[in-house]
Amino acid sequence: MKGKDEIREAFGEAVQPWTFTGSPKEEVIKAYADYKTEKEQAGHLSESGDKHLVGSIYGGMIFDFEEGNVSRIFLGASAA
């Protein structure tokens, strides 16, 4: 389900939350196994919870998991 556009004043752009039924972590890792993820980029993510990086922190996807299922997907650059 698509949410309403929300303006994020920190960077002056709109974001739109979407809601989906969560997939199991094993399916996500298998589905994106062919996409290279640099180990040194993914290292800081493991400190902040159960996450899986696909691609790069400069333009990829970050999957968050709760109880073994996807709870959030972030798409875009996450590097500060």
Q: What is the 3-state secondary structure (H, E, C) of the chain?
A: CECCCEEECCCCEEECCECCCCCEHHHHHHHCCCCCCCHHHHHHHHCCCCEEEECCCCCEEEEEEECCEEEEEEEECCCC
pLDDT band per the 50, 70, 90 thresholds, residue 18: confident
With a threshold of 0.75, does the pTM exceed it? Answer: no
pLDDT for res 31: 94
Q: What is the pLDDT of residue 38?
A: 67
Please compute the mean of the pLDDT values over residues 62-73 and round it to a whole number.
Answer: 92
Higher pLDDT residue, 25 or 49?
25
